[in-house]
Structure 1
Amino acid sequence: MTRPALDALDLEQAPEAVLAALAALRTRDAPTHGGRVLSYVYDPGVPELDELAAGAVRAMQPVNGLDPTTFGSVAALERDVVAFARDLLGGDEDTVGTVTSGGTESCLLAVQSARDTWLAERGLRPGEARPRLVAPVTVHAAFHKAAHLYGLELDLVPVASSGPSAGAVDAGVLGARLTAGPAGAADVALVVVSAPSYPHAALDPVAEVAALAADAGVPVHVDACIGGFALPFWPDLPAWDLRVPGVTSLSADLHKYAFAPKGASVLLHRDRDRQRAQYFATTRWPGYPVVNPTLLGSRSGGPLGAAWAILRALGRDGLATLAGRARRATLALGDAVSGIEGLRVVGVPAGPLLAVATDEEAAADRRVDPHLWADAVAAHGWTLQAQPGLTQGDGTRLPHTTHLTVTPVTEGVLEDLVPVLAAAADKVRGRPRPDATALLGALPPLDGGARPGAGLDSAAAAALLDAIGLGAVGEEGPDAGPGVGPMAPLLALVEALPAPFVERLLVELLARLVEPRAA
């Protein structure tokens, strides 16, 4: 059958005009290449890899990963990617895995598998019991989502707030938490540790935690979503992957330091039965039998194809070379920040990440607030990521910080970046952190209940955003981007408000960014 030419159809717009409009929209984005955004994007600095990925995505574009019996290429590619990850991350011939749409899905599936295994061992169904998920307070927010979706109690353990181990959990403290409840460890479905944690680049003591968990009969998941394809090439690290006895699953993102396009991640299980527990299968409808290894049904073959192509091209040696560039850049940036009066690097980073806080040992008039610093850096065209402070359950305080994700391309821009970091610090040194009092004064009295703001409807939330100056975000005109402006005042507000209240406001802010606009 002859396919009609595109120009034979009644088109609303010519393809060239559509692509031009898309290109115009992209000009408002933060740059994804060149190293000026030190979060969210992972630039290897190798343009040929972008072209390879684009070609692989194009080749797999029509393929539906829902059914590998129809599209055998999906099964072949996934086998290869899982095998590469298994060999790199300490698995053996019994280690199996799944390619997912990203780190969040990998984490969700790890929790789902652990919960369903825990329930099955007790002859229970979902909703009939609420097991615990025990993790450091620095565990990725994806596990908060998983606990919410799958009905687990998230039991967060404080981490060190200062010193070389800042950001890392103490194995003894976590081990004591396992047996702290009336049921001992019998109500714990899963322990999660990070390699490393995103907020502070801290490597949790995986081997020590896994040994304690194994003694208690509890499985352990290692969240290596950000570090999984970099830490294998980082020297002098303690054991952290599937080589550690007691580690039962591990997640590692292919779209981070394996440089695949988003979204692609891999979830590995030490044994087949645990992996099978993540599957959903049903024949109880009149359509085709549904068997899904992931949360998605239909899945694009594009990210899988691109991840496969890049791993095949780079191999272990290519990944090692790129990780080496990122490591040298990380060490150089750490030295540069440590040399800036009023700032300090938090703990001892493991992997290509840094968290930067105020140096409290400096005189008050010489200190640098990390959020003001990030805003000053942004004025020079570089993007760092502000992170709020947090009071832990034991009353200790984790400082507010600025996060830097370092990639191989960063090594080539250090001569431009380091002077900007120093100049930005000079500009804001001695300035106090923004006071949220004025912004709070625009808000009505907060509900003192357990969930203040939980009943806030959309109109009321929008009115509050207007009151604190965020209502017009993304509405400055057809050529404006969605940026929210300086982050320091917003992060001060985030810390000052009760979490449920500020979360509701942020939901409204993000939801309104993508609502259709009036003509």
Structure 2
Amino acid sequence: MPESTESDDLFTMFPLEAGAPKAAFPKAEMFGQVAYQIVHDELLLDGVSRMNLATFCTTWVDDHARRLMAESLDKNIVDKDEYPQTAELEQRCVRMIADLWHAPDPAHTLGTSTTGSSEAAMLGGLAAKFRWRAKGGKGIPNFVCGPVQVCWEKFARYFDVEIRQIPLRGDRLTMHADDLAAHCDENTIMVVPTFGQTFTGLFEDVAAISRALDELQAATGLDIPIHVDAASGGFLAPFTAPDLVWDFRLSRVKSINASGHKTGLAPLGSGWAIWREATDLPAELIFNVDYLGGNMATFNLNFSRPGGQVVTSYYQFIRLGRVGYTLVQSALYGVAKHLAKGIAALGPFEIIHGGDPHRGIAAVSWRLAGEQTYNLYDLSDRLRTRGWLVAAYPLPADRGAETIMRVLVRHGFSRDMADLLLEDMKRAMAQLDRHPPSTSMTQEESGGFTHNATPAVRMHRPH
């Protein structure tokens, strides 16, 4: 038989030899192996997520979690009639988190999983708006906060609520309790402390804010609730700083949001909204639907969404328990402190937050001290050449042109990786000293990468 003139090599097959469809919906079909190779190869251009030290999100999960995610690929969590056990796992998680955050009656409070903490934050904000309206609130509602993640700006714009961000005066990097009275009035639906600030990683003092609102109520009669944005700190402080009072132990705290896919150790797409008591979630926000096979309540902004993140969250909760989470999260702070010490020893840096579990999340943030031949955007750009994505960005506008850098220490970022980063920082700084940039790079020119939004950067945070 004559030899075939056709090759069975994958890269000689159409359209690998002609190029992938890009501009219009393709007409022809192709082999799955070819389509896979096209997509797989394009994704090689993405950064390595484990080296993305700007993201707050989970970048490492164990094999059991991956298997559960794959096994839950077809589960629609909103369809509680078809997938009742997935719904049961969600409710178990709600009760566990309510217990973790010291709700008065964890077994009977209300909460829900969400696609991320941004959705959870908006649900908390909507509940506050509806409670304010039920009490006779009129005019334009507002909420008071410090420097916040962009989801709160979205909430304000999408739901017609005025956002009152307290300017950072002097050397302040967070909202302080003594600034509240000047910004609150009869139309304030809530005060939103950030428990793990996007910019610096610092905790805002929820207990002091609560006391200030108690004093405001005694003086004016204004009874203003608190919603805590614990997107990053909600699964840290209960294990590493259990004596820090920030949660439902404060009666003024009516709701809390958190990201399961951050320090909760769940894969991307996991958030939680929990209310102090069932009465803190207005009934008008709960819808009952009967077109998926049974009558079920829903109070999410999304409808259909995957169930794997909840399944995996429950797996992590029961696998680790309080003891395991304490060990894992304490290890993160240990790495953060080691990294902060190493960065401080490099010379021209001032540490803002160095991984103290009572002051903030497991992160390190710093600024340049004194005049240098380069700025932090230059350093960030040099680190990219080694694969590290380290955020450099400006602080809020009222802090002028001040720029800082930040590293998020996540599960899977080891002390050895921190030492590799420190060595690469040392090499990058030496290179910049020998060859100073001809012009100072701006954030836009350097790419300004940050996975979590700042008001100046306007990039999204997957809550």
TM-score computed with the length of structure 2 as normaliser: 0.80
Q: Given the alignment of the two structures, is residue 273 of structure 1 paired with residue 305 of structure 2, yes or no?
A: no
Match of 2:111 among 82, 85, 97: 97
Q: Given the alignment of the two structures, is residue 131 of structure 1 paired with residue 134 of structure 2, yes or no?
A: no
Q: Given the alignment of the two structures, is residue 428 of structure 1 paired with residue 432 of structure 2, yes or no?
A: yes
- After the TM superposition, which residues 343-422 of structure 1 pair with which residues of structure 2 at under 5 Å, given as runs? 343-347=349-353, 350-359=360-369, 362=370, 364=371, 366=372, 369-392=375-398, 396-397=399-400, 399-411=402-414, 412-422=416-426
CA 1:169–1:353: 2 relative to 1, 3 Å: same
Contact kept, 8 Å, 2:339 with 2:419, in 1: the verdict is no
Distance in 1 between residues matched to 2:437 and 2:40, nearest whole Å: 40
Structure 2 residue matching 1:346: 3-state secondary structure: strand
Structure 2 residue matching 1:356: 3-state secondary structure: strand
Match of 1:148 among 146, 157, 165: 157
Distance in 1 between residues matched to 2:340 and 2:438, nearest whole Å: 24
CA 1:351–1:62: 2 relative to 1, 3 Å: same
CA 1:19–1:50: 2 relative to 1, 3 Å: farther
Distance in 2 between residues matched to 1:20 and 1:108, nearest whole Å: 39
Pairs aligned (count) = 415
Q: Given the alignment of the two structures, is residue 202 of structure 1 paired with residue 202 of structure 2, yes or no?
A: yes
Unaligned 5+ segments in structure 2 are 1-27
Aligned twin of 1:182: none
| Structure 1 residue 275: Cα displacement | 2.4
Unaligned 5+ segments in structure 1 are 1-10, 179-184, 440-483, 508-519
Structure 1 residue matching 2:281: 3-state secondary structure: helix
Distance in 2 between residues matched to 1:407 and 1:282, nearest whole Å: 38
Aligned twin of 1:190: 190
Aligned twin of 1:308: 314
CA 1:306–1:358: 2 relative to 1, 3 Å: same
Amino acid at match of 1:343: F
Greater percentage in helix: 1
Q: Given the alignment of the two structures, is residue 159 of structure 1 paired with residue 168 of structure 2, yes or no?
A: yes
Q: Given the alignment of the two structures, is residue 113 of structure 1 paired with residue 127 of structure 2, yes or no?
A: yes
- After the TM superposition, which residues 493-512 of structure 1 pair with which residues of structure 2 at under 5 Å, given as runs? none
| Structure 1 residue 291: Cα displacement | 4.5
Distance in 2 between residues matched to 1:169 and 1:200, nearest whole Å: 13
Percent identity for Structure 1 against Structure 2: 20
> Residues 15-64 of structure 1, C-alpha deviation per residue, up to 9 Å, x if partnerless?
3333333322332221123xx1102264575xxx4322222223322222
- After the TM superposition, which residues 47-66 of structure 1 pair with which residues of structure 2 at under 5 Å, given as runs? 49-66=61-78
Contact kept, 8 Å, 1:249 with 1:267, in 2: the verdict is yes
Distance in 1 between residues matched to 2:233 and 2:206, nearest whole Å: 14
Amino acid at match of 1:151: D
Structure 2 residue matching 1:354: 3-state secondary structure: strand
CA 1:172–1:277: 2 relative to 1, 3 Å: farther
Distance in 1 between residues matched to 2:439 and 2:298, nearest whole Å: 49
Aligned twin of 1:13: 30
The range that moved more, 264-273 or 382-391, is 382-391
Distance in 1 between residues matched to 2:257 and 2:182, nearest whole Å: 25
> Residues 147-185 of structure 1, C-alpha deviation per residue, up to 9 Å, x if partnerless?
1111000000123553xxx4222111123322xxxxxx2
Structure 2 residue matching 1:186: 3-state secondary structure: coil
Structure 2 residue matching 1:177: 3-state secondary structure: coil
CA 1:100–1:175: 2 relative to 1, 3 Å: same
Aligned twin of 1:299: 305
Distance in 1 between residues matched to 2:131 and 2:283, nearest whole Å: 7
TM-score computed with the length of structure 1 as normaliser: 0.72
| Structure 1 residue 197: Cα displacement | 0.6
Match of 1:486 among 437, 446, 454: 446
Amino acid at match of 1:112: L
Distance in 1 between residues matched to 2:183 and 2:351, nearest whole Å: 29
CA 1:237–1:386: 2 relative to 1, 3 Å: farther
> Residues 177-235 of structure 1, C-alpha deviation per residue, up to 9 Å, x if partnerless?
22xxxxxx211011100111111111111001122234331110111111111222334
> Residues 105-128 of structure 1, C-alpha deviation per residue, up to 9 Å, x if partnerless?
01111111111111122176xxxx
CA 1:229–1:170: 2 relative to 1, 3 Å: same
CA 1:282–1:313: 2 relative to 1, 3 Å: closer
Structure 1 residue matching 2:75: 3-state secondary structure: coil
> Residues 61-86 of structure 1, C-alpha deviation per residue, up to 9 Å, x if partnerless?
22222232332123211111112212
Structure 2 residue matching 1:130: 3-state secondary structure: coil
Contact kept, 8 Å, 2:103 with 2:277, in 1: the verdict is no
Contact kept, 8 Å, 1:343 with 1:367, in 2: the verdict is no
Distance in 2 between residues matched to 1:72 and 1:284, nearest whole Å: 15
Aligned twin of 1:88: 100
> Residues 328-363 of structure 1, C-alpha deviation per residue, up to 9 Å, x if partnerless?
11101111121222222225651212222121xx3x
Match of 1:323 among 310, 324, 329: 329
| Structure 1 residue 254: Cα displacement | 0.8
- After the TM superposition, which residues 450-489 of structure 1 pair with which residues of structure 2 at under 5 Å, given as runs? 486-487=446-447
> Residues 260-314 of structure 1, C-alpha deviation per residue, up to 9 Å, x if partnerless?
11100111110112224573427899x9978431101112112111222222222
Contact kept, 8 Å, 2:289 with 2:298, in 1: the verdict is no
- RMSD across aligned positions (CA): 3.2
Match of 1:29 among 41, 46, 52: 46
Structure 2 residue matching 1:221: 3-state secondary structure: strand
Distance in 2 between residues matched to 1:192 and 1:79, nearest whole Å: 26
Distance in 2 between residues matched to 1:41 and 1:240, nearest whole Å: 21
Amino acid at match of 1:242: F
CA 1:60–1:347: 2 relative to 1, 3 Å: closer
Structure 2 residue matching 1:404: 3-state secondary structure: strand
| Structure 1 residue 417: Cα displacement | 1.2
CA 1:151–1:15: 2 relative to 1, 3 Å: same
CA 1:247–1:237: 2 relative to 1, 3 Å: same
